[in-house]
Amino acid sequence: MTTPPVRARDLGFLLHDWLSLEGLLAYPHFQDHGRETVDAMLDIAGRVAADTFLPHYKAADQHEPHLVDGQVRILPAIHQALAAFAEVGMFAAPFDAEVGGLQLPHLAYSAAMAQFMAANVATAAYPMLTMGNAELLVRYAGAALVRACALPEIQGRYFGTMCLSEPQAGSSLADIATRAVPDGSDELGPRYRLFGNKMWISGGDQDASANIIHLVLAKVPGPDGKLIPGTQGISLFVVPKVLVDGSAFAGQRNDVVVAGLNHKMGYRGTANCLLNFGEGAHHRPGGEAGAVGYRVGGVGQGLPIMFQMMNSARISVGLGAAMLGYRGYRLAVEYARDRRQGRPLAAQKGGAPIAIIDHPDVRRLLLAQKAYAEGALALVLYCARLVDEERHGPAEGRTEAGSLLGLLTPVAKTWPAEWGLAANDLAIQVHGGYGYTRDFDVEQLYRDNRLNPIHEGTTGIQGLDLMGRKTLRDDGASLAILRRRVQATVERARHLPALADFAHVLDVTWARIGALVGHLKAAGDDAASLAQATPFLSAFGHALVAWQWLDQALVAGTLDAAPDAEEAAFRAGKLAACRFFFETEVPRIDVWLGIVGRRSDLTQTIDPAAF
């Protein structure tokens, strides 16, 4: 690859020109940082990503994690990359100084992580999960657990996981059966012994860190010894692989074993495990069977607490999906400029072949990739800015930012996952037959991205969340906040001849979404409406990205200073992507909204035997 995984100007435009990072840096919480600090961190992140993450991208795909005497071994190059990641302070970047962090804006951290995900998403999964794990502990755990578990994660010495799914339950967390039996207490807090199985645990075991901190959902038996049905019985536990200081069994190997590895289509460098808790056959801390864990929060409060990490992970999945689509797009552009094939229609017979980027249909493929990949990145970074606004902005704006972030989270996970994958599909098409071979990275990028519509909640689950919890059962405040922001863009764009038509289309589109939501609420048949949740999510996501493309086009078209040729081309690309999205993608929204509005009962009434 002759170009960096992420162009500095792409990030610079989004951070500085569009999302006004400088406005965030004016918050008291970030007063020790300026644009120079952020740009230096992004530069370091780009170099570390290019030097240590990117070189083993294909090797990690070819040499998957494997079990040796019960221990998962991963590619040594992954060890080295994660050590470099820790050495430059990336694990610490978004955390507060009081826990050893660099206290940088979440927006800046997300832009840095974008570069690591573009370079090697499977290796980037280890720190992504670790930082989410540590963030949850810092927010909800007691001081002793934070000191023993979260601080080593922030330093990059321990890695973390989230253990939710079980073989029989999948995404239906109400059906988990892992038991947590009270076992007294010690310096770390209420202690339990856990018994059960967890499936699809990314980073569930590896040999790159000194310890692994598992966050495990389990149920505490009631007075009758039975598990409480439903999600209300779920509690959250910290279960270290090796018991940490403060535990009555510090230094002992916990009763957590790897029962097997899942062999995946993509993300092959990330060890994905089936974990057994409480077998008692190999490890018995304190001489007893049962994985020792420490409760975070009260009994029955596990799922609401875990949702913090789950929502953070959803946005991180969206970022990874965007960057896989983005890198495939950049590779396709480079290939299209170099590959010479075919001749223009007007050329005389026997003329020299031209670069395939000069063919209109190839440009169509590239424009679609640009619209999807850069649109997805913009969406996720917009949400990252909302995180900063909610946590550290002026008090009067925090509730609004939090409401809007909650509304957008299922879209920020799903839209990049679905349309970043579409961009990867088109990148293979641009490469032709070569794109379907292992000699070029675009086939692996596609395989890696195919996971993203599935994990951390499938597209269908995110649709149910958006339409159910965030729309039908909401008082409308979140959608009203979004509509005001969209309307502000519409009013500004109306006065620019090149964008006025798009502003009108956007205004009409959101008015139709608002009317449809009102119609669904008035109908009062949530079951019929939720049957169409996925097309509603598709329409909502496209309308959201259309807004953000128009907003970016406004910025690109009104930046001060006369640009040089390279900058002029960059801005023209933003305007072209906006035009493409409105001409080619926005018409899809009417189709999806029509499906939702008809509320067909077909999927509810078809007899399973018909399949």
HSE toward the beta carbon, residue 169, CA cutoff 13 A? 22
Q: Catalytic residue at 456?
A: yes
Contact 463, 536 (CB under 8 A): yes
Residue 83's CB is within 10 A of a number of other CB atoms, namely 13
The strand pairing partners of 159, in sequence order, are: 212
Please report the beta strands in 220-329, taking only residues with DSSP state E, as ranges in sequence order: 234-240, 256-261, 272-277, 291-296
The strand pairing partners of 66, in sequence order, are: 73
Helix and strand numbers (H, E) in the chain are: 21, 10
Residues 147, 150, 155, 161, CA torsion sign: positive
For residue 604, give both structure tokens.
């509810």
Contact 444, 334 (CB under 8 A): no
The strand pairing partners of 277, in sequence order, are: 196, 256
For residue 300, give both structure tokens.
């029955």
Distance CA 35, CA 39 (A): 6
Distance CA 373, CA 545 (A): 11
Strands 211-219 and 158-163, how do they pair? parallel
The strand pairing partners of 191, in sequence order, are: 294
Q: CB under 8 Å to 226, separation ≥6 — which residues?
A: none
For 258, phi then psi, to 5°, come to -85, 115
For residue 155, give both structure tokens.
């330093």
Q: Where are the alpha helices (DSSP H) in 339-476?
A: 360-392, 395-431, 441-449, 459-464
For residue 143, give both structure tokens.
């001081």
Strands 179-186 and 71-73, how do they pair? unpaired
Distance CA 145, CA 136 (A): 11
Catalytic residue among 456, 491, 566, 567: 456
Q: Hunting for tokens 């007294």 — which residue is that? A: 184
Residues annotated as part of the active site: 456
